[in-house]
Structure 1
Amino acid sequence: MVRKDLSGEPFALSEIRVIVDGTNIANTLSIPVSYGSGKVEPGAILPTYGGLTDGSTSGGSYYETPYTTGEAWVELDLGGYCRVDSIEVAARSSWDGRLIGSKIYTSLTQQSLLSSAELLAASTQTTPTVRITNVTSGQFTATQPNATNEDPFINGTNVITATQTVSSVSSSDTENVTWQATAPGVDGTAPVFSSGTTASVA
């Protein structure tokens, strides 16, 4: 979600890109963006617009609000969990200032069900938040802190060891787990227990 609290100014953006392993999955999956203002009720049908994930930052595809007050937002639903390397938000040409002051929120749940105050409270706990403070060349990029490292429990081979001690006898079991995460909407590979060893230690 990209959200901005307005106090008389407009909110505008031209494109949202979600980068996973060098691919903009928002574009490849043709995901429309919902938009609105304030807090919505559960089950509400939200309007959508495909122009924010079409790969174009030309003046013809953008979202904007009038000069107004309140909370304005656009929300992108990826359809499930995925490890995101970066989120790029592009301003409409020559309208960089209408994006400054917005915040980028990421979550596993629908964020339009919350007010800005509730999102702020959640951001101190489980919802990563990035505030857009400047826009360079018409674009702001939020990069995850460990973008150069894949989540070790999501991608690749993982060694998981469980240890138990009963009556001063310790036992441990180690399994190699392979998990290949894919973008939502694409068939993925379930975790595979490919091999394992068991050791008992007195």
Structure 2
Amino acid sequence: MIADLPYEPLLEILGVYVSAMSGALAAVRKQFDVFGILVLGWATGLGGGMLRDVLIGAVPPVGISDWRLIVTAVAGGLTMYFFHPRLERARRAIVMLDAGALAIFTVVGTIKGLELGTTATAAVVVGVMTGVGGGVLRDLLTGEVPVVLHHRQLYAVPALLGSSLVVLLWWWDRLDPWTVAASVLLVFALRVAALRFRLTVPGPWRGFPQR
């Protein structure tokens, strides 16, 4: 069932390229040199996949073993290095790309977990960590608090819902190109809606109001 999804590597390559551009843009804004820009692009593009592989016991992780993904991450970093004056002005487009990468990595990560026979719960965890892992690594390397942990943004929640949907589709034997695409679109749409309408999760509870 899952093995019949030959487009999965293409989804992962697209996600790596988009994420690498996001990481490289963060490096440009921090005034990193060319090496730092490429390293941050690589870390952001492949961080989620490496975290996924560590969680599911895949050795060696794709970030240091799959030349196609490494080249893709470097290409994303170089794209931002050479074209950042134009691309930085298109900040909204980059945010949309980041949302797309979150959606792609979440779904691909969940499928990878299911392929290796993990439990449903483990597959959801792997999917979410794959989706948010690159962004967390990007923020840590640039000295920022990871977005997933502050700003109260709906970042991990769309990934959690999308990953859970993939597991349910697998459980019902309905995982095919159309339902995978629908799962990616669900995560993307939820993330974009959260940004568009400024949807947030609750902050620290401050107790009951005083009378």
- The reply to whether TM is greater than 0.5 is no
In the superposition, the TM-score normalised over structure 1's length comes to 0.31
Give the TM-score taking structure 2 as reference length: 0.31
Structure number with the higher helix fraction is 2
Higher alpha-carbon Rg: 1
